[in-house]
Amino acid sequence: MTDSTRARLLVDSQCSLGEGATWCAASGRFWWTDIEGKALWRYDPRDGKSASFPMPERLACFSPCADARFLLLGLASRLAFYEIATGEIETITEVEPDLPTRLNDGRCDREGRFVFGTKHDVEDAQPVGGFYRLNGDLSLERLPLGACAISNSIGFSPDGATMYYCDSPTRQIRVCDYPSFARDRVFVELTDATGVPDGSIVDAQGGLWNAQWGGARVVCYAPDGRESARIDVPTAQPSCVAFGGPDFGTLYVTSARIGLDDRAVQSDTHAGGVFVAMPGVRGVAEAVFAGKA
pTM: 0.98
Annotated binding-site members: 19, 102, 104, 152, 198
Identify the architecture of domain 3-277 in CATH.
6 Propeller (2.120)
Q: What is the pLDDT of residues 103-155, one digit of tens each?
A: 999 999 999 999 999 999 999 999 999 999 999 999 999 999 999 999 999 99
The whole-angstrom separation of Cα 94 and Cα 247 is: 37
Mean per-residue pLDDT for 238-247? 98
Annotated binding-site members for substrate: 102, 104
Mean per-residue pLDDT for 246-271? 97
Residues of the chain with pLDDT > 90, as a percent, come to 98
pLDDT at position 5 is 85
Q: What is the pLDDT of residues 44-65, one digit of tens each?
A: 999 999 999 999 999 999 999 9
292-to-38, 65, 158, 285 alpha-carbon distances in Å: 23, 6, 23, 18
Catalytic residues: 198
Q: What is the pLDDT of residues 196-228, one digit of tens each?
A: 999 999 999 999 999 999 999 999 999 999 999
Greater model confidence, 3 or 154: 154
pLDDT at position 12 is 98
Taking the CA of residue 137 as centre, how many other CA atoms within 13 Å lie in the half-sphere pointing to its CB? 2
AA letter at 54: P
Annotated binding-site members for a divalent metal cation: 19, 152, 198
pLDDT at position 1 is 42
